[in-house]
Amino acid sequence: MNIYDVSKKANVSIATVSRVLNGNPNVSDKTRAKVLEVMDELGYTPNVFARGLGLNTIHTIGIMCSDSSDLYLADAIYYLERDLRANGYDVILCCTGYELETKQKYFDLLCSKRVDAIILAGSKFVEMRPKDNAYLLDGAKNIPIMLLNGFLEGHNIYSTVCDDLAATYDAATQLIQSGQRKILYMYTSTSYSGGNKLKGYQNALADAGICLGAEYVRQCAKDITAAKELLLSLHAQGLEFDAVLASSDNLAAGAVKFAHGLNIRIPDQLSVIGYNNPVLARCTEPELTSVDSKVEALCTTTVNTLMGVFNGMNVPSRTTIAADLIKRATTNF
């Protein structure tokens, strides 16, 4: 049920319904009473944040991302801007880095520009300490806040997330079923998304009855060379592993370089799975098996949800999208 249904039932324009909702005095008592009666009859509850009617809007959306050089976030920015433009909205982009103070600074800047909504691209904007998210909850009192692959519960906050837990669970399970038992997990972040990826890996091992020590879970900078050097160090220390499951394709590409340097055959002696499936996954030799986290679908869904909010529709506060495992030459299944 939305404002269009009310206008049709009451036989008045959408602008008239909007004037009634906003308490505009330029509506006759008779028309106001009629619109309110129809709203009551239809059970319509107005969304105070609906701005898509052309009133109190600059048709501009703020997008915040932590690092636009990141392949995943670069794709996300492209798809978000494309879909917003198709809906008649301009974009102000802020690249914030990872410090909380800087995130808050740019969030306040966008709010001061009176943007119609703010999209937070990536899971690095939801902090571990609840008090550090207070600025987002406060901002949501005035405009919709959209989270792309991050989750924060709160009024007027909407999340679109990839099912990262299920994705890494499936990837690890397929490695196990193909004979791998010593699966090394490499990750970059402990964010909402990062935590779910790690949990999926851990759950798959537990369900298969495999118990590996803490040395099989390693954090690493999102850098190909850093990943290669970490694996060389672990190998030199005598840690045995027959598979690498990585939270990004940068780390997986580093695993491929590690194997080449030691003449380890992929996938016969070492299987490798990456995450996000950017163009990098097709640039290694052999090409990477990778989890496609559906960044385009996440972005399109985020924008569609936002348009629903603007139009006063009832939209879910959280939408989950399933990932796909794209099988290439670094695995033998």
3-state secondary structure (DSSP) of residue 115: coil
| DSSP type of residue 284 | S
When pLDDT is cut at 50, 70 and 90, the band that residue 98 belongs to is very high
Q: Name the nearest CA neighbour of 64 among 129, 154, 165, 135.
A: 135
Q: Kindly report, residue by residue over 222-231, the tens digit of the pLDDT.
A: 999 999 999 9
What is the rounded average pLDDT of the residues 145-155?
A: 96
Helix, strand, coil tally for the chain in percent (to 5): 45, 15, 40
Q: Do domains 3-42 and 164-293 have the same CATH topology?
A: no
Q: Kindly report, residue by residue over 16-75, the tens digit of the pLDDT.
A: 887 787 677 788 999 999 999 998 888 876 655 555 455 567 889 999 999 999 999 999
pLDDT at 1 over 80: no
- Predicted confidence at residue 26, as pLDDT, reads 80
- 216 — phi, psi (to 5°)? -90, 5
Q: Kindly report, residue by residue over 198-256, the tens digit of the pLDDT.
A: 999 999 999 999 999 999 999 999 999 999 999 999 999 999 999 999 999 999 999 99
Asked if the bond preceding 286 is cis, omega within 30° of 0, the reply is yes
Q: Name the nearest CA neighbour of 188 among 73, 328, 320, 64.
A: 73
Determine the CATH number of domain 3-42.
1.10.260.40
Q: Name the nearest CA neighbour of 186 among 150, 153, 149, 229.
A: 229
- Predicted confidence at residue 252, as pLDDT, reads 98
- Predicted confidence at residue 312, as pLDDT, reads 87
3-state secondary structure (DSSP) of residue 124: helix
- Predicted confidence at residue 54, as pLDDT, reads 52
Structure tokens at 124: 């690095």
- Predicted confidence at residue 47, as pLDDT, reads 57
Q: Kindly report, residue by residue over 261-299, the tens digit of the pLDDT.
A: 999 999 999 999 999 999 999 999 999 999 999 999 999
- Predicted confidence at residue 42, as pLDDT, reads 87
Q: Which residue shows structure tokens 């010593």? A: 182
Q: Are strands 271-275 and 318-321 parallel, antiparallel or unpaired?
A: unpaired
Domain range list for the chain: 3-42, 60-162+295-324, 164-293
Structure tokens at 178: 């193909």
pTM for the complete prediction?
A: 0.82
Give residues with Cβ within 8 angstroms of 163, minimum separation 6.
Answer: 196, 320, 321, 322, 323
pLDDT at 164 over 90: yes
What angle (nearest 5°) sits at the alpha carbon of residue 296, between those of residues 256 and 282? 25
Q: Which residue shows structure tokens 């959209």? A: 146
When pLDDT is cut at 50, 70 and 90, the band that residue 13 belongs to is confident
- Predicted confidence at residue 267, as pLDDT, reads 98
When pLDDT is cut at 50, 70 and 90, the band that residue 157 belongs to is very high
- Predicted confidence at residue 22, as pLDDT, reads 66
Q: Are strands 318-321 and 157-162 parallel, antiparallel or unpaired?
A: parallel
Give residues with Cβ within 8 angstroms of 180, minimum separation 6.
Answer: 242, 243, 271
Q: Does domain 60-162+295-324 have CATH number 3.40.50.2300?
A: yes
pLDDT, averaged across the chain? 93
Annotation: CATH topology of 164-293: Rossmann fold (3.40.50)
What is the rounded average pLDDT of the residues 174-198?
A: 96
Q: Which residue shows structure tokens 């759950």? A: 203
